[in-house]
Structures are given as C-alpha cells and as structure tokens.
Structure 1
C-alpha cells in the first residue's frame, strides 16, 4: 500500500485508461471547498452560481477523461432519511452529471454488506482508498494494485451498481 498525501487524485485519474469508479459510504464529508456552499444550503440562501477553482479543475478533469473514453461512475450508499449533507449533495449532483459522471444512489438499508471505507477503483486494477484526518477532511489516499483487494472492490462495485438507482430517478423519489 502506497500513501499519497495532499491531492493525489489528478495523477491517479490521468493514469486511468478505461474506468474510474467511486464508492461513497459516508453520510457526510468535510471537504473545505464545500463549506460555504453547504452553509448557504443550510441557511436557505441562493446557490453560488460561479464555480470555485476546485470545481473548475474537477470539471475539466472529467471532460478530459470523457474525451479519452474513460467512464467515471459512483455509487453513493446513503442513510434514509438523508443527512443534511446528503440533501445538499443531491441538490448539487446535477453538476457532476453535466460533466460526464454516472452517479447512482443506494439506500443503506437496501445495500447489504458494504465496504467500510470509500474508495476509487481505477481500471478494475488499482484501488485508492480515501483517507481523512481527525476532522473528516481529505488527507490523501492509500493506493494499491494488490489483485485480491482490487477483486474485492470490483465485486462490491458490480453488486452495488446493480442495486443502485440512477441519480435522475433517485432525486425525483427523494423529493428534490
């Protein structure tokens, strides 16, 4: 397992050739660039229409991957009723869809056994586990090409993907 601190994601995505899959299993995250939009959501204030630098970089990276034919997908396993963070995320996810991500939602009570940690699975061969610090903020990734770990994550991906609902359907049923 290789520890990659700071922001390892751009390099991991640029090395990706076919697919990147993200499993999200937490009901809230402490991403610094999300603090202000999340605060505004909680206060009922209008959404910020001008994207910040972090979002612009992500959107450009997703566009580049799409141009190379790399698929980017996610399953978000969520507790129902949704946490405030997940309610906010549902209102923001259309931006991810617009830049080419395929995102599905799966209520935790329907998921069965799930991995305990978030991960990205790149090309079904390399796994990057999301690391967080004591405050829940991103702290890098633990990356491995161990074929047994990759096979476990691939199996979880396949099973959960089949159970999950595409965002466009889920958001309608979630009352958003």
Structure 2
C-alpha cells in the first residue's frame, strides 16, 4: 500500500471544492510539530502558537472561499492529557473557520461500525478518502488514498450520522 505524507495530504485542501471532513478516533496522537508545544502545555508554560501558522493560514483561505472544513472528535471520558490539550486549542481552529464537534464514546449510536479498519480519515467532497495510518505511539505514518465507491459511501453515511449526534465545541463541556 502506498502512503502519502502529511504535507501531500494537506495539499488536498487546495483541490477540494465544497467539503472536507475529518473523523478523529484516537485519544492520543504524536506529531513532531506538536511535541514541543504539547510539552510546554504540560509544564504550564505559554505558547505563541506559531507552529500552527501554516495550518491556520490554509484553513482561513479555504473557509474564506466558502468551503466547509469539519471534524468530529470521538473521545473517551475521562479525557487523556492529549485530548485536554487539543480541547484547549480548538478555539484557534474555530477562528480559522473550522467547525468542530465532540462525541464521547459512550454516546456513540448503538451498532456503529467504523469503516477502513477503524482508522481516522479525511473525506473530501464525498469522493476521496485520505485514511490515516499511525504507529503504536500515535505518530502519523502517512495517509492511504481511497476512492472505491462503496467505502466512500459508507464513510459519507457515517459522517452524516456522527455529525448529527456530536456536540458542537461551544456546547461541549470537557
């Protein structure tokens, strides 16, 4: 299986036309760009968020063009430290135009089955998936591009189901 890099996946934001949706299923992630800011947060130190600059610029541009960027974060309660940190940063994502909702695992609709082996994925324009692959520590190995119609349709169905029951960030109390 061929994997694209995170940078190549981010380039997909330059070509989608109306909707990008991210399903996040992990309670912990590892990313070299996040290591230092996360460690500072754990020590109670301040952050200038400069490391988020490229993402924020991209999100402001695409959402400013009228395109939607949405996420559902399926999380365990009580939260891991990483989820607490992620929650503390979410207002920055919202300011850039993303729409983020939270869904505690215990509130998942009965019988939900996660396609693509329960991995995270980005869905672009209901036609292309970028399925995340991670190592055991949660570090991104890359994304697998999937365009197979039945798999994409299952992800569209799940996105719509989860979006309807997930809690908007402003209403979710961590």
Q: Give yes or no for TM over 0.5.
A: yes
Q: Which runs of at least 4 in structure 1 moved beyond 3 Å after TM superposition?
A: none
Give the deviation of 1:68 after TM superposition: 2.1
For residues 131-166 of structure 1, give each alpha carbon's deviation from its aligned partner in whole angstroms, at most 9, with x where no partner exists.
223442112210111111110110110011111000
What is the RMSD of the two structures over their aligned residues, measured on CA atoms? 1.5
Question: Residue 148 of structure 2 aligns with which residue?
Answer: 146
1:100–1:114 Cα change, 3 Å: farther
Q: Distance between the aligned counterparts of 1:83 and 1:135, measured in 2?
A: 14
Question: Residue 78 of structure 1 aligns with which residue?
Answer: 75
Question: Residue 110 of structure 1 aligns with which residue?
Answer: 107
Q: Which moved more, 1:15-24 or 1:125-134?
A: 125-134
Question: Residue 123 of structure 1 aligns with which residue?
Answer: 125
For residues 85-139 of structure 1, give each alpha carbon's deviation from its aligned partner in whole angstroms, at most 9, with x where no partner exists.
0011111111100000000000011114252110000001111101223442112
Structural mapping, 1:3-152, within 5 Å: 3-5=3-5, 7-45=7-45, 47-52=46-51, 55-112=52-109, 113-115=112-114, 116-152=118-154
Task: List runs of 5+ in structure 2 lacking aligned partners.
Answer: none
1:134–1:50 Cα change, 3 Å: closer
| Count of residues in correspondence between the two structures | 169
Does the 8 A contact of 1:24 with 1:118 survive in 2? yes
TM-score calculated relative to the size of structure 2: 0.91
TM-score calculated relative to the size of structure 1: 0.90
Task: List runs of 5+ in structure 1 lacking aligned partners.
Answer: none
For residues 23-47 of structure 1, give each alpha carbon's deviation from its aligned partner in whole angstroms, at most 9, with x where no partner exists.
00000000111111211222222x2
Residue 59 of structure 2: SS of its match in structure 1? Answer: helix
